Structure 1
Amino acid sequence: MNLQNTIKILKVVLSVGDDSGIGPEIILKALCSSQIPKNIDIVIVGSKKNLQNTYKNLRSLGLENLANPKNLKIHDLEISSLDNDPKSSYGNSSFQYLTKAIELVKQYPNSALVTGPICKKSWSLAGHYFSGQTEVLAKACGVKNVGMLFTAKSPITGWRFNTLLATTHISLSEVPKKLTTELIHSKLDLFKDFCHTYSDKPTLKVAGLNPHAGEEGLLGHEEKDWLNDALITWNEKNKDIRLFGPLSPDSCWNSSVRAWNDKNAEKHDGILAMYHDQGLIPMKVIALNYSVNTTIGLPFIRTSPDHGTGFDIAGKGIAQSQSMIEAIKAAVEMTNNLRLLNTH
């Protein structure tokens, strides 16, 4: 293979996540799927021994559609245990896997990162005080304005469903305090850039914070006091964007349901949600296992399955791998879209 062809092949670096969760299982299931793009180079960062043990266990349960670790590229990391505490040790290992994976992605200009699920509590027990992988990525890349975007491609219509969060892993009581004009503008800037990889003139919607988007101040004052004006001033500077909002949150995603299921339905490019559950509940209800978490604003594409560690089902062979498959597919598609955009 000549050097030019090697450069064209996309490298996907895949960090395992928490070894005691379903991460190793869904990786072995996903990597034997015919849905995974063929012309990519996948490197797994994690414990080779744990992946081998996971494979043996799943085979003993009668599962056959699995990738054999001996046929996979694995950047093997065996991390020493911490204080005989399994939970903190698993947390430390998953943190080190992510750190090494970020390091590898930075080394290859044509690469993307896919991360397995981690346990935030285990990270904390191990002394790694981050609210999630997104925050680690932002710090490692020296980027302040990043966005937690959830995306899914409909297997029915092929439409890509995007929901960006204005605030992420904070308590509900803190949300109104964190929301500002500057924050909304920064998130819309990120959203615009992301959607431009798909559309020349994106259509974006913004959900209100309060029921009925405040009902002109009767059910909450944020929309009336500043959010309406924030959207108007941003749109005046970004006239190539069709912007709607703030919309009543209870009906904001109705059009997403139609676009997911009906090829002839009117399409939009994304919705900005004010807080975590406001965006994730409709996302997970509509897209089910096709939803993927991605971090926008980084110098590379990062995706992750839109679910947790699944400790209660780990080792039972019943974890679904579709979200991991979709995370890999999305990483490849998004990176290729960026490459195509950058050539124009």
Structure 2
Amino acid sequence: MNKEENIKVGMTIGDPNGIGGEIILKAFEDPRMLELFTPVVFASTKLLSYYAKSFGLKTKIHGITSLDQIVHGKFNVLRLIKEPFNVQWGEVNSEAGALAVKSLASATEALKNNEIDVLVTAPINKESIHSEDFSFPGHTDYLNQELEGESLMFMVSNELRVGLLTDHVPVKDVPARINAKVIKTKIGTIKESLKKDFGISKPRIAVLGINPHVGDNGVIGTDDQDTLIPALEELREDGNIIFGPYAADSFFGNKKYQEFDAILASYHDQGLVPFKTIAFGHGVNYTAGLSHVRTSPDHGTGFDIAGKGEAHPESFIAAIHTAIHIYRKRKEYDILNENPLKKLSRKRR
């Protein structure tokens, strides 16, 4: 096997009181998964063994104490804690939050050091992770600080891709967070991601309005007329293939989204409600715009079903395959866009 066939996929445990451990183990019930890449879970063998016993799962766990002990063809689990963790299914507590943060921080450091190639994160609970040492509302903001680039929450599936102008902010604060710079930056990130990560040479991007009916020419607010529309016109003048803004209420119902490579929504629920309605269970949350690849499933911690053995791993599996696909697409893009003089020089040797 060459290095590409041995892509190392790092996985965080998420909130240990949720369904993260269950969906991770269920994803590897089929041993053929280990032929496609090399996994390493940032948690502990005791914790994963507890999950396996709780749900009657047969995934064979290979415990390691450092990343240089990773074995290809094994389900590797890096020991972050020695003591047993007391799982309390569906409970929000600081101990669970601390372990979730420790797993994320350790995995992110490994990603930065290229000890793993991509990162797939299990769901966290925003309340339990919040502390003096971790004040971020979620994965995206934390990774934006730790990795190079400008992050964008990009929900992707086979039939739909939705990016967000604003993500985890109160609805009342949305208009104040949207300005020409934000609009141009986010659209630029989507465009670059579509080209580098998905192999789309001339991306077609649709933008949804801020207010209902795009403000109805100022009758329902002037944010679209004052801010969004002028910014889009400037982007089109620069050669970007941008459409809109469209009224969000009918855009998905009439399947207009099928005409575009990506959709940019103004705020969280405007984009995620239709995305999860159309693609829930096989959609993926991808953090675009950063120097390294991170994905996660399209659902949360599942506290309501935690411990019941009812969680399905399909979205987590999709997140793994999407991360690997993007990693390889980036490699292809870099090769295709490498300095042609360097290519010529190598050929002559």
Q: TM-score, normalised by structure 2?
A: 0.85
1:283-302 → structure 2 map (5 Å cutoff) = 283-302=275-294
Q: Distance in 1 between matches of 2:222 and 2:33?
A: 47
* 2:144 partner SS: helix
* Residue equivalent to 2:36: 39
Q: Distance in 2 between matches of 1:35 and 1:12?
A: 15
Instruction: Check the 8 A contact 1:37/1:329 in 2, yes or no.
Output: no
* Residue equivalent to 2:71: none
1:152 to 152, 157, 160: 157
1:74 to 49, 72, 77: 77
1:121-270 → structure 2 map (5 Å cutoff) = 121-125=127-131, 127-143=133-149, 145-153=150-158, 159=159, 161-197=160-196, 198-237=199-238, 239=239, 241-254=240-253, 256=255, 259=258, 267-270=259-262
Displacement of 1:252: 2.2
What percentage of aligned pairs have identical amino acids? 34
Q: Distance in 2 between matches of 1:245 and 1:33?
A: 44
Q: Distance in 1 between matches of 2:32 and 2:5?
A: 20
Displacement of 1:255: 5.7
- Post-superposition Cα deviations, 1:60-79, rounded to whole Å, max 9, x if no partner, equal xxxx5x52324511111117
Residues 142 and 67 of structure 1: CA distance in aligned 2, closer, same or farther (over 3 Å) = same
Instruction: Check the 8 A contact 1:14/1:45 in 2, yes or no.
Output: yes
1:311-322 → structure 2 map (5 Å cutoff) = 311-322=303-314
Instruction: Check the 8 A contact 1:36/1:329 in 2, yes or no.
Output: no
Whether 1:25 aligns to 2:22 is yes
Whether 1:336 aligns to 2:296 is no
Displacement of 1:39: 2.7
* 2:54 partner SS: helix
Instruction: Check the 8 A contact 2:5/2:37 in 1, yes or no.
Output: no
Instruction: Check the 8 A contact 2:92/2:125 in 1, yes or no.
Output: no
Displacement of 1:125: 4.7
Residues 50 and 220 of structure 1: CA distance in aligned 2, closer, same or farther (over 3 Å) = same
One-letter code of the match for 1:139?
A: Q
Displacement of 1:36: 4.5
Q: Distance in 2 between matches of 1:110 and 1:18?
A: 21
* Residue equivalent to 2:122: 116
Instruction: Check the 8 A contact 2:111/2:119 in 1, yes or no.
Output: yes
Q: Distance in 2 between matches of 1:10 and 1:118?
A: 25
Q: Distance in 2 between matches of 1:96 and 1:14?
A: 12
Q: Distance in 2 between matches of 1:298 and 1:199?
A: 18
Residues 284 and 342 of structure 1: CA distance in aligned 2, closer, same or farther (over 3 Å) = same
Q: Distance in 2 between matches of 1:191 and 1:34?
A: 35
Q: Distance in 1 between matches of 2:181 and 2:13?
A: 35
Report the count of equivalent residues: 318
Displacement of 1:298: 1.1
1:88-127 → structure 2 map (5 Å cutoff) = 88-108=94-114, 111-125=117-131, 127=133
Instruction: Check the 8 A contact 2:130/2:136 in 1, yes or no.
Output: yes
Residues 127 and 88 of structure 1: CA distance in aligned 2, closer, same or farther (over 3 Å) = farther
One-letter code of the match for 2:110?
A: L
Alignment RMSD: 2.3
- Post-superposition Cα deviations, 1:184-234, rounded to whole Å, max 9, x if no partner, equal 000001000011132111110000011111111112211111211100101
- Post-superposition Cα deviations, 1:296-343, rounded to whole Å, max 9, x if no partner, equal 111111000111111121111001111101100110111111111111
2:52 to 48, 52, 55: 55
Displacement of 1:242: 2.1
Instruction: Check the 8 A contact 2:257/2:263 in 1, yes or no.
Output: no
Q: Distance in 1 between matches of 2:92 and 2:319?
A: 28
Instruction: Check the 8 A contact 1:295/1:301 in 2, yes or no.
Output: yes
Residues 236 and 110 of structure 1: CA distance in aligned 2, closer, same or farther (over 3 Å) = farther
Residues 185 and 79 of structure 1: CA distance in aligned 2, closer, same or farther (over 3 Å) = farther
- Post-superposition Cα deviations, 1:68-95, rounded to whole Å, max 9, x if no partner, equal 324511111117789xx98101101110
Instruction: Check the 8 A contact 2:41/2:76 in 1, yes or no.
Output: yes
- Post-superposition Cα deviations, 1:276-296, rounded to whole Å, max 9, x if no partner, equal 000000000000201111111
- Post-superposition Cα deviations, 1:232-285, rounded to whole Å, max 9, x if no partner, equal 101222x2x4211110111222465774xxxxxxx4110000000000000000
- Post-superposition Cα deviations, 1:162-202, rounded to whole Å, max 9, x if no partner, equal 10010011100000110101100000010000111321111
